[in-house]
Amino acid sequence: MQKLLTGEWMTIISMSVDPGMLENIDAMQALYGFAGRSETIRAGVRLLEEDARAKGRLTGKINAVLLVVHQHAAEDAVGKIRYEFEEIVKTQLHAHLKKGKCLELFVLEGSANKIRELAHRFTIHRKIGNARLIVP
């Protein structure tokens, strides 16, 4: 453990990241001026916490947009998840990007719980690069 200036103790953890993610952490550190990798990662966790709180406050029937970026090889996984939630998908746009990546844009309408669940499924899937839920 490491003692903070406030007198509290901070737990030290070890984590594994691939070389590309490490490069991204270092780039974010430089871009935002964080003191080190740990502070950069803590800032990322705080953003995830706020995102989870905001999604948790959604209730009732809503409209949303879900952006998903994935490798072309993950097309089957995307289709399978989409099929499970077809009742809330109003429109889907698929575009091919550079370096074998694809962009999916989903226009959604339905219960906040179902929309939150769909976004979560894409977010945690190992073959999906990035998923971002936008609620107007």
With 90 as the cut, is the pLDDT of residue 136 above it? no
What CATH number is associated with residue 102? 3.30.70.1150
Query: pLDDT-derived band of residue 9, with 50, 70 and 90 as boundaries?
Result: confident
Mean pLDDT across the chain: 90
Q: Output helix, strand, coil percentages for the chain, rounded to the nearest 5.
A: 45, 30, 25
For 132, the enclosing helix (H) or strand (E) is strand 128-134
- What's the domain count of the chain? 2
What is the per-residue pLDDT across 45-95, written as a single tens digit (0 to 9) for each? 998 888 888 888 888 999 999 999 999 999 999 999 999 999 999 999 999
How many C-beta atoms surround the C-beta of residue 61 within 10 A?
A: 11
Residue 130 lies in domain = 60-134
Q: What is the pLDDT of residue 97?
A: 94
For tokens 């994935």, name the residue. Answer: 70
For β-strands 2-3 and 9-10, DSSP reports them as antiparallel
89 and 124 co-located in one domain = yes
Pick left, alpha or beta for residue 99 (phi over 0 → left; psi -120 to 50 → alpha; otherwise beta): left
Angle at the Cα of 37 from the Cα atoms of 34 and 42, rounded to 5 degrees: 80
For the whole model, what pTM was predicted? Answer: 0.73
70 and 50 co-located in one domain = no
Q: What is the pLDDT of residue 115?
A: 96
93 and 124 co-located in one domain = yes
With 80 as the cut, is the pLDDT of residue 2 above it? no
Q: What is the pLDDT of residue 54?
A: 82
How many C-beta atoms surround the C-beta of residue 128 within 10 A?
A: 19
Residue 67 CB partners (closer than 8 Å, separation 6+) = 103, 104, 105, 106, 130, 131, 132, 134
43 and 65 co-located in one domain = no
Q: What is the pLDDT of residue 8?
A: 77
Query: What tokens appear for 48 in the block?
Result: 């995830």
